[in-house]
Structure 1
Amino acid sequence: MSRPPVARQKLLDAFIRILIDEGERAATVEAVAARAGVSKGGLLYHFGSKNALVEGLLDLLSEAAEADVVAMRAAPEGAVAHYLRTSGTGDDQLKDLYVAASRLTQDHGRRAGERLAAIEQGWYAVLVETVGDPVRAKLIQLIGDGLYLNSIVADQAAQSSTPTAELITAVDTLIVRPQ
């Protein structure tokens, strides 16, 4: 995934942190500029509006998710094991982008929801390709969703004790291709 210029990335990082920590109402252009340590004019040079910040966030999210789909397909342990392992302990940047996008509301939330749905569909498509059955693929995706939710709300001790290897072994019994 290509990286935006440093100043742009600082602004996006500030926007993401405010969305995660305080919600969309707090993520004003002024607040983002202040958190990034730039002037409002500096922010507006890189992002002409809050809509442009949202698009920048959603573009980063899409790029990170596309990279994850590529990694999923190429994973030596297999797509399903990769998906489940990274659902609970994966890329913190992707998680932050996902959470930040999910915090958007109203008009921004609709666009974010469409992007999040497309990302979920990408992961689902790889799971269907891998297991050959849409119902089993959906079940695996829902297990991954549960691991992801647990990784967000559980403390570090609970996360580190999650028996991911045992879970993957159990899920392997679900992915035997139908004859």
Structure 2
Amino acid sequence: MASAPSPSEAPHSAHRRKKQPEQVRRALLDCTARIAAEQGTAAITIQAVAERAGVTKGGLLHHFDSKQTLLAAVFADLLDQLDREIDRSMAEDPKPQGRFTRAYVRACFADRPLGAQSLWAALAVAIVTEPQLKALWSRWLDARQSRHHDTDGDPAFTTVRLAADGIWLADVLEKENGLRRYPQSLEAELLKMAGG
């Protein structure tokens, strides 16, 4: 039977414990996203996220030094997911002209049925009020538009993307009325306008 570590050995063995920083960081991002989707961004506090993730406030602050940094990381993660969704949709679309626009429309309509439980809906107000999030969105959009300029630079495609944005914003502002006022069938209309 092994003997218990002496008091001088105990702290040393605790430091050898695996900390798995990437798993902790992922848990913090996921917990923040769930709180935002369930209760809105106002409910996101360092304490609430730390408790939900099962870490100390100090542990959270080791990864994200403020609520704004945490929100920006959640938003950047969401943009990465959007990138993957758009890339997957584009890979399945055989027609190059307007391919990005059609993928963008599909992405805008993807979580409409979730309504207020959509993470995009939860972060919408923060996008407008937080300069850091607004800058992340602008950089993402500029990069995508630049990358797909040859196939999607036509003003008609820009109009379709702006219409999709308008429906998304109406959903955010009108909550459950958005789907009634602007039915899901509008997705097919916008895709048709984009050459789909």
- TM-score interval, normalised by the smaller of the two chains: 0.5 to 0.7
What percent of counterpart residues are identical?
A: 25
Structure-1 separation of matches of 2:120 and 2:59: 23
Corresponding residue for residue 61 of structure 1: 78
Worse overlay, 33-42 or 113-122: 33-42
Any idea what SS the aligned residue of 1:138 has? helix
User: Kindly tell me: are residues 104 and 18 of structure 1, through their superposed partners in 2, closer, same or farther at Cα, counting changes over 3 Å?
Assistant: farther
TM-score where L is the length of structure 1: 0.66
Any idea what SS the aligned residue of 1:5 has? helix
Structure-2 separation of matches of 1:138 and 1:156: 22
Corresponding residue for residue 34 of structure 2: 17
Worse overlay, 123-132 or 135-144: 123-132
User: Kindly tell me: are residues 86 and 10 of structure 1, through their superposed partners in 2, closer, same or farther at Cα, counting changes over 3 Å?
Assistant: same
| Alpha-carbon contact 2:31-2:52 (below 8 Å) kept | yes
- Among 80, 88, 96, the alignment partner of 2:101 is 80
Structure-2 separation of matches of 1:43 and 1:162: 39
Corresponding residue for residue 163 of structure 2: 143
Mapped pair 1:103 → 2:126: yes
Corresponding residue for residue 53 of structure 2: 36
Q: How far 1:49 moved relative to its partner? A: 3.4
Worse overlay, 116-125 or 97-106: 97-106
User: Kindly tell me: are residues 102 and 37 of structure 1, through their superposed partners in 2, closer, same or farther at Cα, counting changes over 3 Å?
Assistant: same
Structure-2 separation of matches of 1:43 and 1:149: 32
Any idea what SS the aligned residue of 2:29 has? helix
Q: How far 1:32 moved relative to its partner? A: 1.6
Q: Which runs of 5+ in 1 are unaligned?
A: 174-179
Structure-1 separation of matches of 2:109 and 2:128: 25
Q: Which runs of 5+ in 2 are unaligned?
A: 1-20
**Count of residues in Structure 1 that have an aligned counterpart in Structure 2:** 164
Q: How far 1:76 moved relative to its partner? A: 1.6
1:94-152 deviations in Å (ceiling 9; x for gaps): x625742742676xx1111101112222443456432442x223201112213433555
Root mean square deviation, CA, Å: 3.7
Counterpart residue type for residue 184 of structure 2: T
User: Kindly tell me: are residues 131 and 57 of structure 1, through their superposed partners in 2, closer, same or farther at Cα, counting changes over 3 Å?
Assistant: closer
